Structure 1
Amino acid sequence: MPLAPSAEELISVVQNYYDSNNNFHFRLETSPETSRRQALWTQWIAHMDPWLAFRDELGSKLPEHVIGETYSSHDGGPRCIIYPPDDLRTHSSDWTVVGCLSLLAPVYFIYGLERERQTKVRRYKVSFETPPPHMSLPAKIIARTIETSFGASSIPRAVADTPVQLFVGNLAPLKTTLFHALFTDEPETIP
C-alpha cells in the first residue's frame, strides 16, 4: 500500500475544493471550489459500481452486522457505517464503526461513534480512539476492504487533526481540520 500523502500535500489538494473566505455566503453563484467538489460527486454517483461492490464485500465479511452508508455532496466523500449486532450491544451504550473514503485524495479514515442507549435522544459521541474489543475486527475489516477496493491509504490522526484555513460546511478556520475537508464536517451525523 502506498504511503498516504503528507499533511502539506493534502492541504494543497483540499484548497481546490473549499473556499478560503466566507464571501460565498453573500452571492448566488457557486464558487469554483464548490463546483469542482460537486463535479467529483456527480462523477462518483454516475459510477458507483466500485462502491456497491465494496459494500457487498463488507456484507459478506460481516454478515451479522448491519451496514449502512451516507453520502452528502457537501462532504469530501462517502462514509460506510458498521453497526454492531444486537448481541454485542450493551444495555448502556453501543459503538459504531465509520469508514470514510475521500473523493478528493486517495485516503481514508476510520473512527467510531458511541451512543448512550439509556437516553431517548439518539446522540453520538465521536471517538478517534481505538475501538472497543468487540468492534476491533469490524474496524480492521473495513480498513482492509477500503485499501483493496480503492487503493486508498489511511491517514494518521495527527494528519487528520491538521488545521486548514478553509470554510467547510458549517465550520470556519480555526475549527476546520483536514479530517473535515477530506471527509465530513459532521462526523456524528449518521442514519
Structure 2
Amino acid sequence: MAPSREELVAIVREYYSSNNDFLFNLKPCPEEERRQALWSQRIEDMGSWYSFRDKLSEALPNFITGETGSTSDGALRCIVYPPEAARVPTSNWIVVGCVSILAPVYFVYGVECDYADGRLQNPRASFERPPSSMDFPAQMVARTIEMAFGYSAVPRDIAETPVPLFAGLLEPPKTTLFHALFTNEPSSIP
C-alpha cells in the first residue's frame, strides 16, 4: 500500500532542510547527511536497478533507454526516448520513470522536446498523459517498476503537494513532494 500524503511529507522532512542555513555552512546539514547515506547504500547495491533496466530494455526494444541520477535528488530516473526515426521537429515526448530512494514510491512523467540538428532541444517537463505514441512505453515503465521493486505510484495531486523544504535550487513555496521525492530538475535529462 502506498504511503499517504502525510507520511510522504514526514519522510521528506528527514532528508531536506526547512531553512537555508546550509547555504552558509561548509558542513552538510543533518538532512543532507541522511540523504547522502541513502545514496551511498543505493550505489553499493545497484543490482536491482540494473535488472530493472535490463527488463525495461527487453520490453521496449525499439526505444532508446537511458538513466540519470543525482545525489542532490531523491531518486534514480530511467528515460525512454522515442526511436530516432520517429522524432519530429516539435513535441517529442520522452518518458521518465523515477524510483525514489527515500520511500517505496515511483512517478512517471514526460519531457517534451523539439528535435533539430540531430538532437533534442528545449526540454519541458509534462505531468500530462503521454501522446498515444508514448503511452505504451509509459505503461511499461510503470509496470516494470512495480514488478522489479514493488513500489506504488504517487498520484499527481499528491506529488504536487507543496512542502516547506529546500530541494536543490528550489525553495518554499515552489518545492513540492515531487521535487523532494524524485528530482528538483524534472526537465534535466541527458
TM-score (norm 2): 0.96
Output the amino acid matched with 1:160: A
**1:40 — aligned with what?**
38
**Superposition CA RMSD, Å:** 1.3
Report the Cα distance in structure 2 between the residues aligned to 1:100 and 1:121, rounded to whole angstroms. 20
CA distance in 1, matches of 2:156, 2:6: 15
1:5-30 superposed Cα distances (whole Å, 9 cap, x missing partner): 11111000000000010000111111
For residue 180 of structure 1, what is the aligned residue in structure 2? 179
Relative to structure 1, the CA distance from residue 62 to residue 148 in structure 2 (aligned partners, 3 Å threshold; closer, same or farther) is same
Encode CA deviations 1:149-169: one digit per residue, 9 max, x unaligned: 011100100000000000000
Tell me the matched-pair count. Answer: 189
Aligned to 1:95: 93
The answer to which structure has the higher strand fraction is 2
Structure 1 partner of 2:130: 131
Aligned equivalent of 1:112, options 110, 113, 123:
110
Cα deviation, residue 118, structure 1: 4.6
Instruction: Identify if the C-alpha distance between structure 1 residues 69 and 17 changes in structure 2 by more than 3 Å, giving closer, same or farther.
Output: same
Structure 2 match to 1:141:
140
- Tell me the SS of whatever aligns to 1:147: helix
**Would you say the 8 A contact 1:115–1:123 is kept in 2?**
yes
Q: In structure 1, how many angstroms separate the alpha carbons of the residues matched to 2:84 and 2:114?
A: 14
Asked if the contact 2:113/2:120 (under 8 Å) is kept, the reply is: no
Q: Secondary structure of 2:158's partner?
A: helix
Offset from partner CA, 1:39-84 (integer Å, 9 cap, x none): 0000000000000000000111101111000010000010000000
Q: Equivalent of 1:57, from 51, 55, 72?
A: 55
In the TM superposition, what is the alpha-carbon distance from 1:32 to its structure 2 partner? Answer: 0.7
- 1:64-103 maps to which residues of 2 (within 5 A)? 64-103=62-101
Alignment partner, residue 28 of structure 2:
30
* Structure 1 unaligned spans of 5+: none
1:121 Cα deviation (Å)? Answer: 7.6
Give 5+ residue unaligned stretches, structure 2: none
- SS of residue paired to 1:165: coil
**1:106-154: CA deviation from partner (whole Å, max 9, x where unpaired):** 0000000110225888221111000000100000000000001011100
**Partner of residue 19, structure 2:** 21
Q: Which moved more, 1:115-124 or 1:13-22?
A: 115-124
Give me the identity figure in percent: 54
Q: Which residue of 1 aligns with 2:149?
A: 150
Identify if the C-alpha distance between structure 1 residues 16 and 137 changes in structure 2 by more than 3 Å, giving closer, same or farther.
same
